[in-house]
Structure 1
Amino acid sequence: MVDHFSKGCKLIPLKGLPSAMQTAEALFLHLFRNFGLPEDIVSDRGSQFTSRVWGSLCARLGIGVSLSSGYHPQSNGQEERLNQEIGRFLRSYCSREQHRWSEFLPWAEYTQNSLIHSLTGLTPFQCIVGYQPPLFPWSGEPSDVPAVEEWYQQRQEVWERAHVRLQWAVRRQRIQADRHRRPHPSYRVGQKVWLSTRNLHFKLPCRKLSPRFIMSQNR
């Protein structure tokens, strides 16, 4: 889950695809009870988000429902980018220990929320709580308790690799996205444009013989 304002994230491991009610319960346990009810939830068109249960539940709580456009995942770009960044981190870190992937999520979340976002100029922690929590003091004196020292060393390695990998993933994602971007065309009201019919559904007997483009007037 990604907050639209602060860009902060909350990563929740699940055993499988949840139902609408299971999704709502996870949101309440990990989000609503800490931050309150949101005004609107943007999601993809998964079955749990298009079900009558989800729509009825959100309506009852006064939460707006916004579904991403089909064939256009950029309409939910924040979540899509976060998934890619976290996925790259998990593949690089626990590819040989895939059964432990959920153990690394809290560290990835802490790291992600400690990175300065290009849009806000602040870390998500600073936007949410007003300050950046101190990072872990890895340069401290070793503990004389073996179990504590072992835990400490393991977490230090995870933290350092998570921080480096996620920063690298953010830079790589930005470079790849910029390669496919070009200036937005400027349209005037009433101007006619050619509209692709790739994602439009016509009541015609043969898709192959249907027009590939139609003339549309900009409003």
Structure 2
Amino acid sequence: TSPHPRDFTDDVVSAMAETANVMPQLHMPLQSGSSRVLRAMRRSYRRERFLAIVDGVRAAIPDAAITTDVIVGFPGETEDDFAQTLDVVRAARFAGAFTFQYSRRPGTPAADMPGQVPKEIVQERYERLVALQDDISWAENRRQVGRQVEVLVAEGEGRKDGATRRVSGRARDNRLVHFAPPTDAVVRPGDLATVEVTYAAPHHLVADGPAVAVRPTRAGDAWAAGRERPTGGTPVMLGMPGPRR
């Protein structure tokens, strides 16, 4: 489940900033930037409190990547309410957002609320939100160009790795990074590679230069051992026994 904004107290944020093993990435569900809609959603926080928490995180962890959840079209949401959501998204500068269109679910309190927003309006607002967040994500990612980042190599993160001959993984702030594998070292899933970012897209970073450093890990050893382990053996039949002959 996602953490609740109220859980990001000053002592928690301070502990995150002071603990090297804690990654500088936080997921803080916004849901809506309108305090009126948040009240209708029965959320315990309001827009001012949410933005104050974001400011506290930025002050303690300047390079933190903050992601969020946003729902568009909750019953009763007006154009002004939605504009307030866009304002909060602009102010918070989220690294990324999971955006959703409200859908009526029978049996939930919201299903019987007045002011159900027409589907075409929800779709139009959703597209505006996604476009804004993509612009912000891209701008935030462009700030990473030229920086060296440590990447935890993963298997299956890059759908085009075979075609691009790149390796993929996650930076410490959970940004997706595709990078060119070094020619003088083997990089395995679970290993750590330090690379310099050369290009940014809204949802990923690219490092096309040679890796600055590669650090083998026990996780990489385990991955390699799993690859070497024989996969054969005697098959086991499951089910009811057959008749004796």
Please indicate the TM-score interval, normalised by the length of the shorter structure: under 0.3
RCO higher in 1 or 2 (8 Å CA, sep ≥ 6)?
A: 1
Please, what TM-score do these two structures have when normalized by structure 2? 0.25
The structure carrying a bigger helix percent of its residues is: 1
The structure carrying a bigger strand percent of its residues is: 2
